[in-house]
Amino acid sequence: MSDQIQQQVQNLHSYHNNMLQELSKVIVGQREILEELLITIFAGGHNLLEGVPGLAKTLMISTLSKVLSLGFKRIQFTPDLMPSDIVGTNVIEEDHETGKRATRFVAGPIFSNIILADEINRTPPKTQAALLQAMQEKEVTAGGQTYKLDPPFFVLATQNPIDQEGTYPLPEAQKDRFLLNTLIKYPQLQEEENIVIQTTANEVADVQSVCDGPNLLFFQSLVRSVPVSRHVTGYAVDLVRATRPSEAGVPAFIKEQVGWGAGPRASQALILGAKCRAALAGRINVSCDDIRAVSLPVLRHRIAASFTAEAEGISTDAIVQRLLQEVPERSAS
């Protein structure tokens, strides 16, 4: 059985490399960001991409939909966007022959495979919450009727930094639904020069499809089949529990710098992200290094810095990085 999984994982590794090659035709640099996006997709999760405008967040997601040959819908979040604009609404129709009236559900843009929730924090929490059921249950309810969403289904949301004018903080319950929170930084000097050259020329990149829906669903199931040693699982759980100020034996700085810590969904995300990272690299042995590699995007949006930490300018990234130094691995025996 392990030989079969190893062969399938090697196949996934080939798909992963081909996808990166196609994405790099359009996206210059940003290798780490693309890796986190692919981990999100193959793990079957959702991703919250955060960065200032103009860093190609939307371009990354639209290009990814082409590489995957999946349905793609873009929802521009604005202050006046209503929940029905996302989910859909019931309309009354009259039969011209009988004169009878009946309601018909008109599906909203949420009914697709990849949903780009563009500038999700530009709209009030009531509308943001319209995504909650879709993200967690893969279904939506309108007019008392529940409608299933066709798999695969992903919400890839972009967000501007919260200190920019005209933004609303995401509800904590919704942030927890995102498997990863990816931060996009400014490009390096050489990368920015290449971006300018590439985007001011006449040539248009020809992006080819690499993977389709059925293959993607198979690989998502394969990722979950990758085994994880008990000590690696224990290390992930120890990291998450160490973020909670109320837990006994947590590092002293956590009690000072953290308002509240991550819940069990964070432990699940660490393991699933680590499994996916290993599988995309062609490995079926998940290590503590894989846990550490995904810890920042998994935990940064699931813990809240205390007033003390905020006053001192200590970010959740800094808290997680310090935790990685202080929480030891468990013994493999």
Which pLDDT score, from 0 to 100, does residue 162 have?
61
Q: Say yes or no: 40 and 176 in one domain.
A: yes
Summarised one tens digit per residue, pLDDT across range 298-325 is 999 999 999 999 899 999 999 999 999 9
CATH of the domain at 324: 1.10.8.80
The pLDDT assigned to 58 comes to 81
In the chain, the percentage of residues whose pLDDT exceeds 90 is 45
- Verify that 123 and 175 share a domain, yes or no: yes
Q: Residue 84: inside a domain, yes or no?
A: no
Are both 133 and 272 inside the same structural domain? no
* Under-50 pLDDT residues of the chain: none
Residues 117 and 146 in one domain: yes
- Which token pair is 254? 């956590």
Cα 6 from chain centroid?
26
Are the C-beta atoms of 39 and 276 separated by less than 8 Å?
yes
Cα 184 from chain centre: 13
The two tokens of residue 128 are: 């943001």
Task: Determine the Cα–Cα distance for residues 29 and 59; give it in Å rounded to an integer.
Answer: 13
Query: What pLDDT shows up at residue 163?
Result: 57
Give the tens place of pLDDT for each residue, 254-291: 999 998 899 999 999 999 999 999 999 999 999 999 99
132 in the same domain as 71: yes
At position 333, the amino acid (one-letter code) is S
Q: How much is the pTM?
A: 0.90
What is the reported pLDDT for 122? 86
- 94 forms bridges with which residues in the sheet? 101
Q: Are residues 327 and 253 in the same domain?
A: yes
Domain stops at, among 175, 209, 243: 209
Measured CA distances, 207 to 18, 27, 187, 211 (Å)? 11, 11, 22, 12
Q: Both 275 and 145 in a single domain?
A: no
Domain boundary among 209, 239, 260: 209
Identify the CATH number of the domain in which residue 121 sits.
3.40.50.300
CA 31 to chain centre: 16
Would you state the pLDDT for residue 296?
96
Regarding whether 168 and 306 lie in a shared domain, the answer is no
Beta 47-50 vs 154-159: how paired, if at all?
parallel
Q: What is the pLDDT of residue 165?
A: 66
Question: How many domains is the chain partitioned into structurally?
Answer: 2
Say yes or no: 205 and 233 in one domain: no
295 assigned to some structural domain: yes
- Output the average pLDDT for the chain: 88
3-state secondary structure 230-254: HHHHHHHHHHHHCCCCCCCCCCHHH
Contact criterion met (CB below 8 Å) for 303 and 263: no
Burial of 23 (0-12, 13-18, 19+ CB in 10 A): buried
Percentage of the chain modeled with pLDDT above 70:
98
- Cis check: omega of the bond before 152, within 30 degrees of 0: yes
Same domain (yes/no): 266, 157 = no
- The full length of the chain comes to 333
Domain assignment present for residue 181? The answer is yes
21 domain residue, yes or no: yes
Containing structural domain, residue 19? 11-78+112-209
- What is the pLDDT, as a whole number, of residue 249? 85
> Is residue 73 included in any domain, yes or no?
yes
